[in-house]
Amino acid sequence: MSPRYFKKSKPIETEDGIQARSRRGDIGEQWWSRRFVEVVESYSISNRIRRGKRYARKGQVLELIVDTGEVTAAVQGSRPTPYRVSIGGAALDDDQWSRVEEALASRAAFVAQLLAGQMPPDIEEAFAECDHSLFPRSYREMSTRCSCPDSANPCKHLAAVFFLLAERFDDNPFAMLQWRGRYRDQLLENLRALRGDGDPDSPHGTAAPEEVLCVDDNEAFWRCGDEIDEVDFRIPNVSVPDATLQALGDAPSSIAELREELSALYHHMLTGR
Segment 178-194 mean pLDDT: 92
Average pLDDT for 42-71? 90
Mean per-residue pLDDT for 147-170? 93
Question: What pLDDT sits at residue 271?
Answer: 63
Q: What is the pLDDT, as a whole number, of residue 224?
A: 58
Per-residue confidence band for 254, with pLDDT thresholds at 50, 70 and 90: low
Question: Which residue did the predictor score with more confidence, 216 or 69?
Answer: 69
Q: What is the pLDDT of residue 220?
A: 54
| Average confidence score pLDDT of the chain | 79
- Strongest mean pLDDT among 28-42, 93-107, 232-246: 93-107
pLDDT band at residue 51 using 50, 70 and 90 as cut-offs: very high
Q: Is the pLDDT of residue 92 over 50?
A: yes
Mean pLDDT of 107-123: 88
Query: pTM of this prediction?
Result: 0.68
Q: Determine the pLDDT at residue 39.
A: 82
The secondary structure of the chain as a DSSP string is -PPP-----PPPP-SSPBPPS--SS----SHHHHHHHHHHHHH--SHHHHHHHHHHHHT-EEEEEEETTEEEEEE--SSSSPEEEEEE-----HHHHHHHHHHHHT-HHHHHHHHTT---TTHHHHHHHTT--SS-SSGGGSEEEE-SS---SS-HHHHHHHHHHHHHHHH-HHHHHHHTT--HHHHHHHHHHHH-TT-TTSTTS---TTT-----SHHHHHH--GGGSS-----PPP-STTHHHHHT-SPPGGGHHHHHHHHHHHHHHHH--
Mean pLDDT within 66-94:
92
**Model pLDDT, residue 23:** 85
